Amino acid sequence: MNFQNNESITANAVVIGAGTIGAATAWHLAKQGMKKVILIDRNNVGSGNTSKAASLMTLVRSKEALIPLIQETYKNIDEIEAATATSVGKNKVGTLHIAASKETATSLDSLVAIANKHGIANRPIDKEEIASMVPWLQTNNILKASYMKDDSFVDAYVLATTFAEAAKQLGVTVMQHTEVEKLLIQGDTIVGLQTSKGQIDCDYVVDAAGAWGNTLSMQVNVPIPMAPVRSIYWITEANETLFSPNQPMITLPDAMAYTRPEAGGLLFGLREENSPHFHPDALNKEPNVDFLGNPEDRWDIIVNHGEDFMSFFPEFEKQGVESCITGISTYTPDGYYSFGPSKDLKGFYVAAGCAGAGVAGSGGIGRMIAEMITNKPLFADEKPFAIDRFENFDPMSKPFRQRCADARSKKKDGG
């Protein structure tokens, strides 16, 4: 299926945006038996904010409704790896959830109860064993810790391209370098879209355009509860004495930090007190290569918010930082994803609002959307994620974007 002689083409469903979420959605639509599915992106598959992700796939979440969606992604990875004979770089290193205050120890007890409820393997782990696994970590102040051995991180870019490849095998057409310019409606129904290469007539459109999602959906007056908010992490220089590729991921809520191994060094993220947020229309259309926001932030955040992290990592000051990565996540005010149908525009669906965990939830979100469109029973609860769960908001407005940025600043779950 492709454009010829400026004629319009027809499809049953078009998924806009080939990040992990859009690519997974296209694959699930084809798996549910939908014919003539198009996955479309103005750049390359996986080159958006997906390519920036730290890609932790922490299974346990205080927001329990996310868990089945994340578990689904794990299952999907096995399936698409087998179908395409490709590895998505899954590293099953497990996660250490660490509490160094009474408040965090209480939250950890709740997290462990949630893990047990959802069949997520976990066990208490003592300071000696932690020290043997993670030589850089100062364990003196640890009150309680849990090791969840099945957690993995992946290469999100490869995950997106593998979902897209598996989708192609099932008949999906992947159109790269094709921009969606306009959504076409008739009355209260979506009927297609205008792209930079021609018109596509279709019954269903899924807006999976990530940080740019509202730019498209607001054309047809469907506000998505989310805003583009900066995410940031750093990677240290390699050090084989302190770091090993098999070290577990770590969540340190008492330092508002998370870590995982990367290229012989340590990838660490710190939550900022005030995460910068952006107007969707002001974002670069190309994958950003430059630092997002004030370049001084890359050091200022460590100086201003890294003290607690350094108390867990006393050797930090001797350890060089190799790089600092910024990208955009689409945060929501309540930390739940934003996906599902528009109640006002028939045929229009949203798969977005990643809340900083869109790699982890991509397979689950994709399956939910595919089940909704093909009228199948839903495998998980959709209500917490409904795009109309907030009333009277303007996703482009500064106050709403600030609410979303505040949700990121307060987030304590890893990844």
Ligand X SMILES: Cc1cc2nc3c(=O)[nH]c(=O)nc-3n(C[C@H](O)[C@H](O)[C@H](O)COP(=O)(O)OP(=O)(O)OC[C@H]3O[C@@H](n4cnc5c(N)ncnc54)[C@H](O)[C@@H]3O)c2cc1C
User: Residues interacting with ligand X, by CB under 6 A?
Assistant: 16-22, 40-43, 47-50, 52-56, 156, 179-180, 208-212, 216, 231, 233, 325, 327-329, 352, 354, 356-360, 415
Q: Which is nearer to ligand X, 153 or 312 (CB)?
A: 153
The distance of closest approach from Cβ of residue 286 to ligand X in the complex, given in angstroms and rounded to an integer, is 8
d(CA 163, CA 2): 20
Q: Which is nearer to ligand X, 19 or 265 (CB)?
A: 19
The distance of closest approach from Cβ of residue 365 to ligand X in the complex, given in angstroms and rounded to an integer, is 9
Q: Which is nearer to ligand X, 99 or 232 (CB)?
A: 232
Q: DSSP letter for 2, please.
A: -
Tokens of 310: 């350094």
Q: Which is nearer to ligand X, 313 or 337 (CB)?
A: 337
d(CA 140, CA 166): 47
The distance of closest approach from Cβ of residue 122 to ligand X in the complex, given in angstroms and rounded to an integer, is 19
The distance of closest approach from Cβ of residue 121 to ligand X in the complex, given in angstroms and rounded to an integer, is 20
Listed in sequence order, the residues at least 6 apart from 391 whose beta carbon sits closer than 8 Å to its beta carbon are none
Q: Which is nearer to ligand X, 111 or 200 (CB)?
A: 200
The distance of closest approach from Cβ of residue 39 to ligand X in the complex, given in angstroms and rounded to an integer, is 10
Q: Residue 197 is inside which H or E element, if any?
A: none
Q: Which is nearer to ligand X, 22 or 335 (CB)?
A: 22
How remote is the C-alpha of 328 from its chain's centroid?
A: 10
The distance of closest approach from Cβ of residue 131 to ligand X in the complex, given in angstroms and rounded to an integer, is 25
d(CA 12, CA 32): 13
Phi-psi region for residue 141, left (φ > 0), alpha (ψ -120 to 50) or beta? alpha
d(CA 275, CA 356): 12
Q: Which is nearer to ligand X, 212 or 313 (CB)?
A: 212
Burial of 388 (C-beta count, 10 Å sphere; 0-12/13-18/19+):
middle
The distance of closest approach from Cβ of residue 109 to ligand X in the complex, given in angstroms and rounded to an integer, is 24
- Which of 280, 239, 235, 281 minimizes the C-alpha distance to 258? 235
Q: Which is nearer to ligand X, 144 or 160 (CB)?
A: 160
Q: Residue 98 is inside which H or E element, if any?
A: strand 95-99
The distance of closest approach from Cβ of residue 282 to ligand X in the complex, given in angstroms and rounded to an integer, is 14
CB 39 within 8 A of CB 20: no
